[in-house]
Amino acid sequence: MKITITGPRSVGKTTISKIVAKKLRLNYFSSDEIGEKHLKKEGGLDKAIKSGTVGKFIKDSAYGLIREIYKKDNFVFDLSGGAFSSRKYEEASKKVRQSAKKNSVIFGLLPSKNSKESELFLFEREKERTHFKDSDKDELLSKTKKSYKKFPPLFKDFCNEIIYTKGKTPEKIVNEIISKLNLKKRKVLAFVVNEGKFLALEMTKHPDHAPEGGWFVVTGGVEENESYEDAVVREILEEIGLDTEEIISLNGGSIYEWGNELCEEQNFIAFVKPGRVILNEEHSKYDWLDLDEFIERINWDDDKILLKKVLEKALNKKKYFDKITFKDYRRANE
């Protein structure tokens, strides 16, 4: 995954970029840090900008260094607003924008949809920055307004998403970015049946996936390039050592957060071939139960009466739900 986060100076993109990278376990790169490193002899990026020596770096090296970042995988790139929008070095900025668009998902951060609100928001932050504290405030406001005007049209053309930040905490902004990425981990839940009886599995206590143990069913993640049905077959074989004869979708499932992951889990009924159950390390005991006993035994935080109706239909290879229905536990817990 390649994510670019950019925006006008003082919008807060560095803070947001670092949190997104940490949450998604991605590498963090910064165009400003690249500049600092390669302009060390000139006293760093700020001094090079003030002295004008940054121009040679931008023309000769900056785009090539940024392009090298986009050859990598699994990162969040904190791309400076100047690198994205410069008119003074338009040709270099154009190449940067094209490279970002071609190789990553771009999130543009702006304070507000209202231009005046955005300009004042950025100005209030700019005047608190160390190297602007002694600046003429009218001149700084004028520069802030001029700089800001470049961003909305560029973002409209190049960004996959524009995120408005004013009045939001960093955590809320980060969550909005992650939700836009639609990074749901695909999972399956399978009710295993043989000769009309349901398999209940006692979970081995584990601090990560089963801190309190209890009785449940076969569950697991869907691997890359694997169908949900293939995942059910694999998980049943891995967890209980049985071969699957037939799988039927229950047209139901759930969306929930587990740790730092957003999961989308689809439910199935799986009719298995007779055989000896061989448990893996996730389970300590098993029991074949009639439907009523099974419903009573398993951990199920939702409506057990509805679950029974769904499984009664499924035993006869019919579906209770006409279309796929997901319950979003994130909303249920708000």
Least confident of 81-90, 239-248, 310-319, 324-333: 324-333
pLDDT at residue number 82: 86
Domain spanning 184-332: which CATH class is it, in words?
Answer: alpha beta
- Rounded to whole angstroms, the Cα distance separating 220 from 313 reads 24
- CATH superfamily, domain at 2-181: P-loop containing nucleotide triphosphate hydrolases (3.40.50.300)
Structural domain spans, the chain:
2-181, 184-332
Rounded to an integer, the average pLDDT of 262-281 is 94
pLDDT at residue number 117: 95
Q: Is the pLDDT of residue 145 over 60?
A: yes
pLDDT at residue number 334: 45
The residue that leads in pLDDT, 296 or 24, is: 296
Least confident of 48-62, 159-173, 240-254: 48-62
Q: Is the pLDDT of residue 152 over 80?
A: yes
Percentage with pLDDT > 90 across the chain: 57
pLDDT at residue number 48: 64
Instruction: Give the tens place of pLDDT for each residue, 170-224.
Output: 999 998 898 888 667 889 999 999 999 999 999 987 655 555 679 999 999 998 7
Rounded to an integer, the average pLDDT of 153-170 is 93
